Structure 1
Amino acid sequence: MPHRFTWIGVALSGLLGVAAGAFGAHGLQGDVAPGLLETFDTAVRYQVWHTLAMLGVLVWRQIQPLRGQRLVLALWASGAALFSGSLYLLVLTGARWLGPVTPLGGLLLMAGWLALAVCAGRARPAR
Structure 2
Amino acid sequence: MKIFFILGALFCALAVALGAFGSHGLEGKLSAKMIEVYKTGVQYHMYHALGILAVGFLAMKIGTPSSLVWSGWLMVIGIILFSGSLYILSTTGITKLGMITPLGGVAFIVGWVLFIVAAVKHM
Quote the offset at 1:94 in angstroms: 1.2
More helix by share: 2
Aligned residues: 122
SS in 1 for 2:30: coil
Structure 1: segments with no counterpart, 5+ residues: none
Amino acid in the other structure paired with 2:82: F
Matching residue of 2:57: 59
Root-mean-square deviation over aligned CA pairs = 1.2
Structure 2: segments with no counterpart, 5+ residues: none
Of 21, 25, 30, which aligns to 2:19?
21
Amino acid in the other structure paired with 1:16: L
Do 1:71 and 1:112's aligned partners in 2 also have CA atoms closer than 8 Å? Answer: yes
Do 1:50 and 1:76's aligned partners in 2 also have CA atoms closer than 8 Å? Answer: yes
Query: How far apart in 1 are the matches of 2:58 and 2:5?
Result: 13
Deviations 1:15-46 (A, max 9, x none): 11001100111111110000000000000000
Matching residue of 1:116: 115
Matching residue of 1:77: 76
Deviates more, 1:114-123 or 1:19-28: 114-123
Identity %: 37
TM-score normalised according to structure 2 size:
0.93
Q: Point out 4+ residue stretches in structure 1 off by more than 3 angstroms.
A: 3-6
Deviations 1:26-71 (A, max 9, x none): 1111100000000000000000011111111101211221412111
- By relative contact order (CA 8 Å, sep 6+), the higher-ranking structure is 2
